[in-house]
Amino acid sequence: MKYCTKCGAELFDEAVICVKCGCPVSPQYAYAREPQKKAPKTSGLRIASMVLLIVTLSIVALYAGLFAFVALIGAFGGEDLFVMLIVALIFLAPLAWMIPMLAVYCKAVKRKSPIGVGLKVCILIFFNVVAGILLLCDSEEEQNESVA
């Protein structure tokens, strides 16, 4: 014997609709009646983070290019080419993980798919602290994740 979830009336186990109040009792039926879930929309925080990441990447790339250029000029002017190249490499190195991370992030935003906490933390530590915090604060994102 089961009971109506709405009015509490006793029901037969095979009952689909409550005889007292008429509400559906079958879980499958109740699920089918549920309104279709709206597609998760891209939150403002995601867009803000993406802009921050692109700006960060541009600045790092600009500095790396600048130092590589200065190294080249310096080498012609008699400066220590090795030291200048090391400095240029230090600035270039972050691009090696920033570009792939941004690509993964942009792909996730484009597909409106959930972004893993791991990627968010990596963005926070290795890319842009503010963007990482924004993503971790994106509660809508967490809801989408739990639904999926």
Question: Given the rule CB under 5 A, which residues bind Zn ion?
Answer: 4, 6-7, 9, 18, 20-21
Q: Alpha-carbon distance 82 to 25, whole Å?
A: 77
CB 49 within 8 A of CB 115: no
At its nearest, how many Å lie between Zn ion and the CB of residue 14? 15
> Of the two residues 9 and 92, which places its CB atom closer to Zn ion in the complex?
9
Phi-psi region of 27 (alpha: psi -120 to 50; beta: other; left: phi over 0): alpha
> Of the two residues 4 and 57, which places its CB atom closer to Zn ion in the complex?
4
At its nearest, how many Å lie between Zn ion and the CB of residue 34? 18
Q: What is the Cβ-side half-sphere exposure of residue 56, based on CA atoms within 13 angstroms? A: 22
> Of the two residues 25 and 60, which places its CB atom closer to Zn ion in the complex?
25
At its nearest, how many Å lie between Zn ion and the CB of residue 2? 11
